[in-house]
């Protein structure tokens, strides 16, 4: 029934999000109209997923307990030697850097790109745990951020899929 059709549409959208070429020009034999529709979908997908990334970042980064420690690079916020920190942590990350990466479209606008964003958001908490492994309070704070980030990313991914699906259905 309609449940099966809904599941089929959902998996079809998943497939589009994970496998679509980022260049509508990669559609040999497509008509001008098909290319135009594909480009419109790409733009919509970019806008929806970028909005989802920014919303997840705002929800996690706006929490006071995280804002106090992770809004900028740690060496700018605390008396930490940047060189020593960068030796201890392979890929430093903070909310300001993450926002800048989103702003310059560093992430692809598909499932893989959203997961890369999630990974960088989680990295903020994991770096905190790694660098402060001997301080239980910071290990716990890092875990709280990881948990909050996963929850928020799951929620925002679902919302983005629903928004894109409604657009895909309307354009048919």
Range of the domain at 56: 41-170
Residue 73 lies in a domain: yes
**Structure token digits, residue 107:** 């992430």
**Local confidence band at 169 (pLDDT 50, 70, 90 cut-offs):** low
**Structure token digits, residue 31:** 């008509």
The pTM assigned to this predicted structure is 0.80
Please tell me the total count of domains within the chain. Answer: 1
Tell me how crowded residue 81 is: count the other CB atoms within 10 A of its CB: 10
Assign residue 77 the CATH number of its domain. 1.20.920.10
Q: What is the pLDDT of residues 125-143, one digit of tens each?
A: 999 999 999 999 999 999 9
User: 168 pLDDT exceeds 90?
Assistant: no
């Amino acid at each position: 029934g309609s449940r099966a059709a809904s599941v089929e549409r959902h998996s079809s959208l998943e497939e589009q999000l994970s496998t679509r070429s980022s260049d509508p020009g990669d559609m040999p034999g497509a008509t001008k109209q098909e290319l135009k529709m594909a480009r419109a979908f790409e733009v919509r997908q970019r806008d929806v997923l970028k909005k989802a990334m920014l919303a997840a970042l705002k929800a996690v980064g706006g929490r006071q307990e995280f804002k106090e420690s992770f809004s900028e690079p740690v060496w700018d916020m605390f008396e930490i030697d940047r060189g020593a920190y960068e030796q201890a942590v392979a890929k430093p990350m903070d909310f300001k850097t993450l926002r800048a990466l989103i702003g310059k479209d560093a992430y692809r606008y598909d499932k893989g790109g959203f997961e890369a964003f999630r990974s960088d958001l989680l990295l903020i908490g994991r770096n905190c745990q790694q660098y402060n492994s001997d301080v239980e309070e910071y290990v716990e704070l890092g875990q709280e951020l990881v948990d909050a980030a996963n929850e928020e990313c799951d929620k925002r991914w679902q919302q983005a899929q629903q928004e894109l699906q409604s657009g895909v259905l309307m354009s048919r």
